Amino acid sequence: MTEIPAPALRMRRRPALYTGLMQGLFPVLVVLMAIIGVWYLGAFFLNSTWAQDQAARAGQPLGFMDLVSATMTQDRPVLPAPHQVAAGLWDGIFGQKITSKRSLVWHGWITLAPTLLGFAIGSLAGILLAVGIVHSRVMDMSVMPWAIASQTVPIVALAPMVIVVLSSMGITGLIPKALISAWLSFFPVLVGMVKGLRAPDRMQLDLMHSWNAGEAQVFWRLRLPSAMPYLFASLKVAVAAALVGTIVGELPGGASAGLGARLLSGSYYGQTIQIWSALFMAATLAAGLVLLIGVIERITLRRMGLAR
């Protein structure tokens, strides 16, 4: 039913974009609608117990339609309905002054700033160490096994300690969270970049050699360009990891600002709508960051003549 016969399309001179949309966007939209439908059903069933309790206590039997409306409008539902979350998000983003403590934009910025700083530090360190590893056999044999092994370690467990230790040394705010983000984004970049810098094969290296290219020229003209696709793939992983690091870094130590703190205070006071709004805000931030790196990737690869 989604397939529109191709000849008809051609006769009406529909551009390829149209079929692309029907092929690409339509199924996604249908699945999204299905998810929202399941969500509404879930909200109805999960919230109905409380609604019926309230009605029984008040001595008023609930009709079906009353029950439906009662499950969709609770203040602290077990599962808020999608429109409640949307309203919470809207209110948090546009309904408040940006400087207000109830504004999601403000909390989002508190989370975003350390994420970006940590991501910059972590990926820069990862790239530099990768360059060292590719050029030094000792470093490769010493550091690389540990870098790979560290991928299997739940590094986030370190977050509370880093926060508390640094605050006992008088360092609070942006820096501790940025350090956790940096640590989390460091390893994906390191591993991806080493893989990328090693991507040129024997033949390409020999060709450079036959042109009498020095180590530096091989690096700038061959290794670095061929590492770019690998670098961007791991940067996307790293930026998502950096955001997770910041959010987890906001959990301990009674932080009062940031999306992680919103999650925590929401869970203390049973404010489910607040939790879900903060969650969606975090998801939006993550998606935005990944998309942004995708755009930078496309521009960079085109400038370097690597676009496929």
Q: Toward another protein, which CB reaches closer, 62 or 72? A: 72
Q: Toward another protein, which CB reaches closer, 190 or 208? A: 190
When asked if residue 99 is in the footprint of another protein (CB under 8 A), the reply is: no
Alpha carbon distances (Å) from 22 to 10, 33, 51, 57, 201 = 15, 16, 41, 51, 41
Burial class (CB in 10 A: 0-12, 13-18, 19+), 183: buried
Tokens 């609930």 belong to which residue?
62
Q: Toward another protein, which CB reaches closer, 129 or 222? A: 129
Q: Toward another protein, which CB reaches closer, 161 or 306? A: 161
Total residues in contact with another protein, by rule CB under 8 A? 57
When asked if residue 16 is in the footprint of another protein (CB under 8 A), the reply is: no
Instruction: Specify whether the CB–CB gap between 96 and 102 falls below 8 A.
Output: yes
Give the number of residues written for the chain: 308
Q: Toward another protein, which CB reaches closer, 188 or 196? A: 188
> CA 225, CA 248: separation in Å to the nearest integer?
35
Instruction: Specify whether the CB–CB gap between 196 and 253 falls below 8 A.
Output: no
Q: Toward another protein, which CB reaches closer, 95 or 160? A: 160
**DSSP letters along 64-107, please?**
HHHHHHHHHS-SS-SS--HHHHHHHHHHHHHSS-TTSTT-HHHH
When asked if residue 56 is in the footprint of another protein (CB under 8 A), the reply is: no
Q: Give the up-direction half-sphere exposure of residue 287: CA atoms within 13 A in the CB hemisphere.
A: 6
- Cβ of residue 37: shortest distance to another protein, in angstroms? 14
Site string for another protein, 165-204 (x = CB under 8 A): x--xx-----------------------------------
φ/ψ (deg, to 5) at 76: -125, 70
When asked if residue 21 is in the footprint of another protein (CB under 8 A), the reply is: no
Selected binder of another protein within 4, 18, 20, 27 (CB under 8 A): 27
**Looking only at residues 249 through 308 of this chain, which bind another protein when binding is defined by CB under 8 A?**
251-252, 259, 263-264, 266-267, 270, 272, 275-276, 278-279, 282-283, 286-287, 290
Instruction: Specify whether the CB–CB gap between 80 and 57 falls below 8 A.
Output: no
Selected binder of another protein within 6, 18, 24, 90 (CB under 8 A): 24
- For the record, the structure tokens of 220 come out as 């700038």
> CA 90, CA 193: separation in Å to the nearest integer?
40
Q: Toward another protein, which CB reaches closer, 15 or 154? A: 154
Selected binder of another protein within 16, 17, 65, 149 (CB under 8 A): 149
Where does this chain bind another protein (CB under 8 A)?
A: 2, 23-24, 27-32, 35, 78, 137-138, 141-146, 149, 151-154, 156-158, 160-161, 164-165, 168-169, 236, 240, 243-244, 247-248, 251-252, 259, 263-264, 266-267, 270, 272, 275-276, 278-279, 282-283, 286-287, 290
